[in-house]
Amino acid sequence: MALTDSHCHLNFPGLREQMDSVLAAMRDNGVTRAMNICTQIEEFDDVLACAVKHPHIWATVGVHPDQEGLTEPSAAQLALLASHPRVLALGETGLDYYRLDGRSVADMEWQRDRFRAHIDAARQAQKPLVIHTRSSADDTLAILKEQGAEGVGGVFHCFTESWDVARQALDLGFYISLSGILTFKNAKELQEVAKKLPEDRILVETDSPYLAPTPYRGKTNQPAYTRFVARCLAELRQCAEDEVEDFTEQNFNRLFMPESTFNTSHA
């Protein structure tokens, strides 16, 4: 068995205090790799240290769009941090208009500037983007197109958008990552999108410690639960679970590790 959790937050409360058991559960469930996602520069050292310590854990560098008032690294600074061999991508980055708190979309230019800096950094570092978009799909796609982001590619993580948004992301060369939300009973539209996605563009993730899949919904999520996302995806697409393992592993390698001979079976 081999699966990769393409998006988790191992340094967040709920996971970092029990790292040994989290890693053991991954192993027991055949989740052989995980990409630990950075959400602010202030946490990057911890994210990177985890990846350096554990050969099957990888890192990203970035500043989440939904956090104002954090350190704003330049594109050059982000690219320099991304040059570390244990860092696979820039992000998570993107746009999030879900909590405007009395502000208008026009007031969120700081998010759009931050997003552009990450795209520039990805171009400099020649590494892909991890995209977060919430209540902002039109602007997210527009900026990706405006900045020529198809030249670096990446993934729309924790995808919950429509088929039209998925199609536009695919047209830009991006991958689509499905999380535990796929297993929710009320996620019918997303489940239909999952059936339509081309096999060579799908990743799976947990976004842990959030969004635990059924049957653990409401509890602390962890990378081991990638197994339940893959199982649900296999059921929806009417294929064997090991087929989902095969194509999601190939997709992760193609996107994030194109020059690597990394063997997922070692973990």
What are phi and psi for residue 65, nearest 5 degrees?
Answer: -70, -20
| Cα torsion 134, 137, 138, 140: sign | positive
Place of tokens 């039109």: 138
CA–CA gap between residue 36 and residue 46 (Å, rounded)? 10
Query: Under the phi-then-psi rule, with left for phi > 0, alpha for psi from -120 to 50, and beta for the rest, what region is 157?
Result: beta
- With a cut of 70, say whether residue 99 has pLDDT above it: yes
Q: What is the pTM of this model?
A: 0.95
pLDDT band at residue 260 under the 50/70/90 scheme: low
Question: CA-to-CA distance for 95 and 107, rounded, in angstroms?
Answer: 12
Helices 109-125 and 137-146 sit at what angle, rounded to 10 degrees? Answer: 40
State residue 101's pLDDT score.
87
Q: Answer for the pair 5, 22: CB distance below 8 angstroms, yes or no.
A: no
CA atoms within 13 A on the CB side of 103: 14
Q: Could you report the per-residue pLDDT of 241-258, keeping only the tens digit for each?
A: 999 999 999 999 999 998
Q: What is the pLDDT of residues 74-87, one digit of tens each?
A: 999 999 999 999 99
Tell me, what's the pLDDT at 261?
41
CB atoms under 10 Å from CB of 189, counted, come to 12
- 259: confidence class by pLDDT, cuts 50, 70, 90: confident
CB 250 within 8 A of CB 174: no
Quick check: bond before 92 cis, omega within 30? yes
The pair phi, psi for residue 170, each rounded to 5°, is -60, -40
Q: Between the CA atoms of 97, 229, 237 and 89, what dihedral angle is there, to the nearest 10 degrees?
A: 60
Q: What is the DSSP string of 54-112?
A: -TTEEEEE---TT--SS----HHHHHHHHTSTTEEEEEEEEEE-S--TT--GGGGHHHH
The answer for residues whose C-beta is within 8 angstroms of residue 171's C-beta and 6 or more apart is none
Residue 102 has pLDDT above 80, yes or no: yes
Q: How far apart are CA 32 and CA 57, in angstroms?
A: 9
- CA distance linking residue 130 with residue 93, whole number of Å: 6
